[in-house]
Amino acid sequence: MRLDKFLKVSRLIKRRTVAKDVSEQGRVLINGRESKPSSTVKIGDEITVQFGQKLVTVKVEKLVETTRKDEAAGMYTLLREEPVAKSSGLDW
């Protein structure tokens, strides 16, 4: 599944266009590597997203094409939520 679609379907990001923009800005990592919106997401991957001053890391548990809001959180497991270092921006 494409990264931008996973972020939208899992409801980590509400709209696919926003997921695409965030990925293009280099604010999304898959297994520690900067990723494009078209990057492939697989079960077991770790995805890190920078939301403002917070980094959220999740592990992909399942991939489905569509899901209801109450089932979306089952697509991933939250591993970490941490503040972004305030030094020189992103030091990935």
At residue 56, what are phi and psi to the nearest 5 degrees? -120, 125
Mean pLDDT for 32-60 is 95
What band does 84 get if pLDDT is binned at 50, 70 and 90? confident
CATH number at residue 45: 3.10.290.10
Q: Quick check: helix, strand or coil at residue 67?
A: coil
The per-residue pLDDT of the chain, averaged, comes to 91
Mean pLDDT for 44-60 is 95
Q: Is residue 91 part of a domain?
A: no
Q: Determine the structural domain holding residue 77 and report its residue range.
A: 3-83
Percent of the chain past pLDDT 70, that is, above it, reads: 92
Q: Is residue 88 part of a domain?
A: no
Q: Is residue 69 part of a domain?
A: yes
> What distance lies between CA 89 and its chain's CA centroid?
19
Q: Give me the number of domains the chain comprises.
A: 1
The pTM of the full predicted model, rounded to 2 decimals, is: 0.85
Q: Quick check: helix, strand or coil at residue 29?
A: strand
What band does 88 get if pLDDT is binned at 50, 70 and 90? very low
| CA-to-CA dists, residue 59 to 17, 76, 88, angstroms | 22, 5, 27
